[in-house]
Structure 1
């Protein structure tokens, strides 16, 4: 008996020929030939396991087989799949199985989850437990419009039916499995007393992360980069017509990603500071698409990066319309205000008494910032939002510059 491990296609062909010859001999029980045949069959089987991919069981065939076993009609599948029309569409392969369907079929009919799941990237363990959230509460229509769900097509009802599949896939493409739960549970420091939609906020954060990952910023961020002097130099870029674009480049040179991502409905968002591993992301919504709001929101979030952002506190969400900020928000406000308009200069500024546009422009030139920043500060302090409106400019200014 000379049975060897199979290492090549030639070895495999020789082993199969020898196996065929031994089988034709019809060896007696416990004979030398029978022992060789059994050992050779094991060696061949081991080689085939390593070289031939296993055949994936067909989920629909598995359902039909279980129906036949249990003498079930199509009507009996309604509790697991939905209406009789959905059952018909699924069994005729016109409608894919959703994760909720798979979960019910697995639990109710005992069909293994790994057979029912066709997406090879989906971990079958998601079927073993109930979802950690109600995926239908995400702003699905808005997410679809932003391209979060690839080439998915369907109405609002179909979006809801496949919400878990779509959102999980979107998250799966962004976050490693071991990071995903941490991302979901990351403590958020949220400014403002308006109740924001939790799922819409989470969707917005994921969209920010998706966009940030597409911006290839090679520079590594160094903690301690953002100082009052650094912020003051950034604020001076506001004097240029393309100041917002220059600001984005300034941040990138220091390893900070600036993302503009429109807010979702019911989020009341102006901006956020976030961590993606060790890289800071400053995200702005441009909800108020004006120079004064852009510069204050930008510096406010950068103050969070400098003073508050840590792996233990990785997300700060800001609605800058709200007053009475908490301590960390007041600290970020103060740092941003000082960088834009130094308090020492502001105390003696003539424009505070005259409220005249020529004095606002003159003071802006003196401290090297855009006149809209001075006008915005005056409007806020005077609680008069008609004041110096011509210096504030038209809505849409910043997004237009950044899109060029």
Structure 2
């Protein structure tokens, strides 16, 4: 067995000085013969240098535009051939010139159609394209209407997936809304645009998650006593706004969020993942009586149904005339009516569609509630929404939430 008389010093590379010294040693040993101690030392030094370079001088991913052009050259493709993957001739030109960034849909198309690695297009090492939950067609979300409401940026062209994924993340994830469309608990017209409805629900939950409340919700706190305190706030001209503050102090979100086209939506009752109640009102009908009934109807769902099944949700079109096949809606209607005006007091009052405005105001005054609530009860019971127009407070609610 032979040993080296003058062993070559080899040590770990921990600094630039060590790195430079190792390169000098490699230069000296480059002519070492195979099987010699010098050749073995050369192999060890080369490995140490390679590891150091990988850690400190990593080779970056190729530029996505360069990768696209390389694939075009490989497959002899013209700019016109990229239209199916990018969208239009002008978009292809803008992308290749660097004037337009790649959208997730473009990246997905280029990856699947031309085999360009996803991590190159995403510019993230080892990155993969996000999965598409339940095969969502991102283009079906009503982006123009959402941009008009300022829920998303105005420059939404080609960014449907990115913008919706951002909104969904702020809402708490896709599952926060998807379950409500898997259950038969939405009192909504059959012709409703489901993508618009989902977008509205995502926005509502995002707003709730981004709004802090002064206290946490205590299960079981929606008692008749609390409801009596709430309904008496209606007597004030600022009653709806006071109701929002009152509910916030009890750990409940009340959010005004205008409806989107083709949703026919009045309100919703949902819960965040931590159990916090969320009530959304669209004020589609901007009247005081409508505000208080919609609010108490959604509170009914919170108290009677979501307290026991917090993963359920209720989205309401309260203009549907006859909810006979919706027992929970009938239950919510009854609870709301009882909290707003107790049935025994209503029966004793003998208030009818033939009552005078003076009688209605006197009865409301005794109950310390707004006359619009009394007038609204008559209109609902008679299904005559032309009665007592002067009492129901037209166009007096939205302005409070402006």
> Smaller-chain TM-score range?
0.7 to 0.9
Give the Å deviation of 1:381. Answer: 1.6
Name the TM-score, length of structure 2 as normaliser: 0.87
Mapped partners of 1:256, 1:308: distance in 2: 15
**Do the aligned partners of residues 201 and 54 (structure 1) sit closer, same or farther apart at CA in structure 2, a change above 3 Å counting?**
farther
Aligned position for 1:291: 288
Match of 1:150 among 149, 153, 170: 153
**Do the aligned partners of residues 77 and 195 (structure 1) sit closer, same or farther apart at CA in structure 2, a change above 3 Å counting?**
closer
**Contact 1:262/1:287 (<8 A) preserved:** yes
Give the Å deviation of 1:271. Answer: 0.4
Structure 2: stretches of 5+ with no match in the other structure: 1-7
Give deviations 1:198-245, integer Å, cap 9, x for gaps: 001001011112221232114221211112222222111111222112
Mapped partners of 1:227, 1:126: distance in 2: 45
Mapped partners of 1:26, 1:5: distance in 2: 18
Aligned position for 1:183: 177
Aligned position for 2:44: 39
Equivalences for 1:203-352 in 2 at 5 Å? 203-277=199-273, 278-309=275-306, 313-325=311-323, 326-352=326-352
More displaced 10-residue stretch of structure 1: 77-86 or 239-248: 77-86
More displaced 10-residue stretch of structure 1: 39-48 or 287-296: 39-48
Give the Å deviation of 1:328. Answer: 0.6
Mapped partners of 1:35, 1:147: distance in 2: 67
Question: 2:15 aligns to what SS in structure 1?
Answer: helix
Residue 170 in 1 paired to residue 167 in 2? yes
**Contact 1:15/1:44 (<8 A) preserved:** no
- RMSD over aligned CA atoms reads 2.6
Mapped partners of 1:53, 1:356: distance in 2: 84
**Contact 2:26/2:46 (<8 A) preserved:** no
Mapped partners of 1:230, 1:338: distance in 2: 13
Give the Å deviation of 1:101. Answer: 2.6
Give the Å deviation of 1:78. Answer: 3.1
Question: 2:303 aligns to what SS in structure 1?
Answer: helix
Aligned position for 1:14: 17
Give deviations 1:172-213, integer Å, cap 9, x for gaps: 3443xxx32453344352114452110010010111122212
Name the TM-score, length of structure 1 as normaliser: 0.87
Aligned position for 1:105: 110
Mapped partners of 1:276, 1:217: distance in 2: 13
**Do the aligned partners of residues 355 and 38 (structure 1) sit closer, same or farther apart at CA in structure 2, a change above 3 Å counting?**
farther
Equivalences for 1:352-371 in 2 at 5 Å? 352=352, 354-371=354-371
Mapped partners of 2:126, 2:280: distance in 1: 30
Give the Å deviation of 1:291. Answer: 1.2
Mapped partners of 1:5, 1:122: distance in 2: 29
**Do the aligned partners of residues 3 and 259 (structure 1) sit closer, same or farther apart at CA in structure 2, a change above 3 Å counting?**
farther
Larger Rg: 2
**Do the aligned partners of residues 181 and 350 (structure 1) sit closer, same or farther apart at CA in structure 2, a change above 3 Å counting?**
closer
